[in-house]
Copies of this chain bind each other. A is one copy, B any other.
Amino acid sequence: MQRTPFDQMPCPVARTLDRVGEWWSILILRDAFYGLTRFDQFEQSLGIAPNMLTRRLKALCEAGLLERRLYQERPPRHEYVLTAKGRDFRPVLWTLFAWGNRHLAPEGESVILTDPTTGLPIDPVVVDRRTGRPLEDGIRVAAGPAASERLRRRFERPTTI
């Protein structure tokens, strides 16, 4: 087994990366959000080799983020559309987008997020749903209801993220 799998790790970050952590996967999802659905659309938009695209689309379908759907019978042609699980991945893209614009756009921002009604730029911030307050330094990682004894002990000592 080459490339250590992360899906047996208890950490949800690790498990997520196990599904979308391969090269190209997240960019394919981005393009799916952009509205692309066809094989050749992804191929052209990304400049990805077709064999790589085949592998990634297959993996993303198996992970349940995309669905392969027949859109024409003869010849059989499929399109790839986001599932609910896939659509729920957008918050990750927003935060990746924001970080990239803050730190990797020395020549200025080439692409920005805007509000579809007002047209004003959007600056994504993560808050707690309950309190509405921005998450800050010192957010704790703690054992959850399904934690093993080992994990519980690991997180007895306060751990932040």
Interface residues of A (CB under 8 A from B): 3-4, 6-7, 10-17, 19, 21, 23-24, 26-27, 30, 33-35, 47-48, 64, 85, 88-105, 107-116, 119-120, 122-132, 135, 138-148, 151, 155, 158-161
In-complex Cβ contact of A130 among B99, B108, B123 (8 A) = B123
Q: How far is the CB of A36 from chain B (nearest CB, A)?
A: 10
Q: How far is the CB of A68 from chain B (nearest CB, A)?
A: 19
Q: Are B158 and A33 in contact (CB under 8 A)?
A: no
Known: A27-B17, A139-B113. A103 touches B126 (CB 8 A): no
Q: Are A16 and B99 in contact (CB under 8 A)?
A: yes
Q: Are A130 and B120 in contact (CB under 8 A)?
A: yes
Known: A94-B135, A159-B34. A15 touches B104 (CB 8 A): yes
Q: Are B151 and A13 in contact (CB under 8 A)?
A: no
User: What residues on B are CB-neighbors of A98 within 8 Å?
Assistant: 12, 91
- Starting from the known contacts A88-B99, A94-B95, A113-B142, 7 additional A-B residue pairs (CB-CB under 8 Å) come to A11-B27, A12-B99, A90-B161, A91-B124, A94-B126, A107-B146, A122-B139
Bound-state Cα–Cα, A128 to B122, Å = 6
